[in-house]
Structure 1
């Protein structure tokens, strides 16, 4: 595999690492260093790397970024009883152009995902989600993205890509591989009515901050169905982060963002996870520790994955069939985990994007709603997207 784009973790972080307890994460993971080069990736399940690129930030004024504080915070935490091997591959530096950086990110993620390694990306600006998405061009036919963000980032796709408009590029650039896009934690006053309407018209999913804070379990099915999870740190409320990172008095709190990270980890489909819009500053212990804890919960989730979506054996599930408005809805409940799915029917008369019966993650509440003659919203949107 070609990892020539990656530079080693800084000596300052490695020296700090030597002072940690021998039981700390930093003493148990493999680290790309100047002395030892890139570690052997045999048996590795998770690979962390940073991308020092923020030139497509709409407010870019030349700031440099680094992830030393995040690494020191993460290395200093203690692992749970994990059985996965983690590697820190170091950083991708800015290329001569942003497109050069995108190419390096795309190639690195493609190489990792192809070999069954889950990349954990630490970002600069969130437009890096675009090369993350493009990394899947030759890997899977359709991609689902979850964006944890206060804004939809649809933007004007006719203009150059920025961190507040990258989703428009993802939707409109060929090849068209996007099936579903879901935003978790959006705040209405940060989004124009045109963008809100567009999300509806494209049958994409959006979870308002109030609804998420009221019941965090609402977002689990969307994360269970995602291939890529992209987290914008500006979705976190200002009181949870350091001065330079503050964006809004309202937002997700530390427990909620860590719960979302754990849901992403538990998902059997999530194969890349990124945290973006990090802005280091001298008083940055708070933000770096929050990101470190998010990474911890994601790794914890990956270690708790259960293959519960195998419905070939009758013993693995219970099947429920209900009628809603003359539609026959078929639900499956895993006997291993108690998680629910709903079947999206094959539409023979249209250009079906998924080409087969597809099981869509859902909640027990969706089944209860169907029993009360209500069509589940996730099912309806998936069916509509499938027939566009």
Structure 2
């Protein structure tokens, strides 16, 4: 660290004391079970290495916004890497549940997208009603595998079938930036059958301006006084900007749009939880990893700005 160029990595402490707490989920067994390309288990540690030099702590572009004045950021470490996937999901839910109870905002970096159900389950434990936004080219509502095994394609079917979720008519699950070429009609019809709890916002309808409809969803959640979980599968980002994922997208959100979405997520005080899934440094590390850390930075920047604006 130099005093004239303090970066985000310079101010992160290694414990659970932060207002925003980073948690790593170093597992890609769920990707393997879904016949995807493995390697996402290396995502959290690669993310941390690239995070060290990401993002200025004082951002002149936002009227000299100094993150340190408004937020403490900490790294709560990884979920134990030597567990079965089912045990890892249980430990993850317990960790996220504990952090939410303490008023922290967990930010979880995977790892496969199967992490999103235990994350959502922890939020259900602590909320009267929730909005879950899955930013993803895919729907991830596939049935469980044989012997009721979860996988990277199943987390949101697990959520929708969770009695705590489906019994509360105020809950909402929104698929955002889904691509019709990637989504089975059987899975689409499954979601249609669950309306009004579920909704699909197709990529083609928002590709020129995803932020306006995303803001509208966040605003609805705020008006309904729901706690919001933003789940960001980075395979929704175009592969020219984000190639290091289990299933790269030929078309998709731009890097700028992804950062804007993260910034606006941070700005909403109703957003209590965010995760990033499918960063696979075995396929491509530096370009994708720098984008993933920039998404994290923009979430933090958005929350710091919201706090500053609230006390002016």
Question: How high is the TM-score relative to the length of structure 1?
Answer: 0.67
Instruction: Give a deviation string over 1:185-216, Cα, whole Å, max 9, x none.
Output: 11011112232233333222222212222222
How far 1:182 moved relative to its partner?
Answer: 0.6
- Other-structure match for 1:181: 173
Q: Does 1:108 align with 2:95?
A: yes
Separation in 1, partners of 2:109, 2:25 = 6
| Closer/same/farther in 2, CA of residues 20 and 165 from structure 1, 3 Å limit | farther
Instruction: Give a deviation string over 1:45-96, Cα, whole Å, max 9, x none.
Output: 1111211111111125764524333223322121232221100122113343
CA contact (8 A) 1:21 1:27 kept: no
How far 1:138 moved relative to its partner?
Answer: 3.0
Instruction: Give a deviation string over 1:293-344, Cα, whole Å, max 9, x none.
Output: 10011111111226999xxxxxxxxxxxxxxxxxxxxxxxxxx9xxxxxxxx
Separation in 1, partners of 2:81, 2:123 = 22
Separation in 1, partners of 2:27, 2:9 = 25
Q: How does 1:1-388 map to 2 (within 5 A)?
A: 23-30=6-13, 32=14, 38=15, 41=17, 44-57=18-31, 58-59=34-35, 63=39, 64-76=41-53, 77-79=55-57, 80=59, 81-82=66-67, 83-157=70-144, 159-176=148-165, 179-201=171-193, 202-203=195-196, 204-216=198-210, 217-224=212-219, 225=221, 227-242=228-243, 247-281=248-282, 283-305=284-306
CA contact (8 A) 1:238 1:245 kept: no
Instruction: Give a deviation string over 1:217-275, Cα, whole Å, max 9, x none.
Output: 11112234252111111111111123565612111110111111112111121111100
Separation in 1, partners of 2:282, 2:272 = 30
Bigger share in helix: 2
Separation in 1, partners of 2:138, 2:78 = 27
Separation in 2, partners of 1:244, 1:136 = 26
Q: Which has the larger radius of gyration?
A: 1
Flag structure 2 segments of 5+ consecutive residues without an equivalent.
60-65, 222-226
Separation in 2, partners of 1:174, 1:284 = 39
CA contact (8 A) 1:157 1:172 kept: no
Separation in 1, partners of 2:129, 2:175 = 18
Separation in 1, partners of 2:143, 2:130 = 21
CA contact (8 A) 1:238 1:246 kept: no
| Closer/same/farther in 2, CA of residues 302 and 207 from structure 1, 3 Å limit | same
Separation in 1, partners of 2:188, 2:254 = 24
CA contact (8 A) 1:207 1:219 kept: no
Q: Which has the higher contact order (CA 8 A, sep 6+)?
A: 2
Separation in 2, partners of 1:85, 1:252 = 30
The structure 1 segments of at least 4 consecutive aligned residues displaced by more than 3 Å after TM superposition are: 18-22, 60-64, 174-178, 242-246, 306-309
Question: How high is the TM-score relative to the length of structure 2?
Answer: 0.82
| Closer/same/farther in 2, CA of residues 111 and 165 from structure 1, 3 Å limit | same
How far 1:141 moved relative to its partner?
Answer: 2.5
Separation in 2, partners of 1:60, 1:196 = 21
Flag structure 1 segments of 5+ consecutive residues without an equivalent.
1-17, 33-37, 310-335, 337-388
- Other-structure match for 1:357: none
Separation in 1, partners of 2:56, 2:28 = 31
How far 1:27 moved relative to its partner?
Answer: 1.5
* Equivalent position SS for 1:227: strand
